[in-house]
Amino acid sequence: MIVIPIADYQHFSFAECLLFLNRSPRECLHQVREGSLYKLLAPEGSPVLIKINEDVEQQSLIAEVLQGGSNETYIRDFLNKWMHLDGRMDDFYAFAAKDNLLGPLTKSFKGLRLIGIPDLFEAITWTITGQQINLSFAYTLKQRLVQAFGYVLEEEGISYYLYPHPAVIASLQPEDLTVMQFSRTKAEGIIRVAKLMAAGALTEEILKQMPYEEARETLVAIKGIGNWSANYVLMKFAQHPQALPLEDAALHNVLRNQLALPAKPALQEVKALTSHWKNHAAYATFYCWRSLYKG
């Protein structure tokens, strides 16, 4: 058993995190069953299946290795990044309490942590997949990609998947993805990123070391990655607190609904409405997104 302490436990809800993680029936990279979370990882390339539960007394999450070797450091680091277990929420909750939009959201979804995407290739290609389509279809495309090109582990009749490695996708042609209903632009963009990462031109280590602005500029320099995608990646992978995907249509809808605006706000109005978020922008955006899911 691997014990992962949860910082600022009074502002943590495993139930809220599970609700968010379980929001799509097409999600295939983790599973939520009977209050437990199952995830296949690959420390040093070796598949490890873990089962995750909460230990209230220890104010921790407990990871049980069901199959594969136990790489405690990797598992601990992954879970911290995935559910921001080592982060403190005091400042954000104090900030939100004074905000007409965010205050009600933090009360409704108290304890929700920003669910990240610790794998850079997955984070970037997920944003490309989701560009200009609804979330349901984005999950359908992701499921097809993962099941066709990812690693699968069978355990007691259940399939667990790893996201495809960049080297695997780098060897494809756009037609290999367009047959799955990826647009040609998306297919080319995903393969382009795969080739960059397979060649070592873009790595997790390099991006993590960059300050926010440099990291954003590095990402938008890649064809097919705009400001929205770059900020999404920096929010979900690199955990930059100021990352704000201003162009996000879902965020615009939340602002309109929660603030009772007469129409969907234009980009300049969105900038004005969110300008005070600053280093709370990532969490503010994430809580706005959570309000769209009725689970």
Check if 119 is active-site: no
Counting DSSP H helices and E strands in the chain, the numbers are 15, 7
Cα–Cα dist 291/287, whole Å:
6
| Burial per residue of 186-224, b for 16 or more beta-carbon CB atoms within 10 angstroms, e otherwise | bbbbbbbbbbbbbeeebeeeebeebeeeebbebbbebeb
Which residue among the candidates 77, 86, 176, 248 is catalytic per the annotation? 248
Count other Cβ atoms within 10 Å, centred on residue 107.
11
- Give residue 294's Cα distance to chain centre: 19
**Which one, of 84, 124, 145, lies nearest residue 282 by Cα?**
84
Residue 145 near residue 177, CB atoms below 8 Å: yes
Question: Could you list the active site residues?
Answer: 248
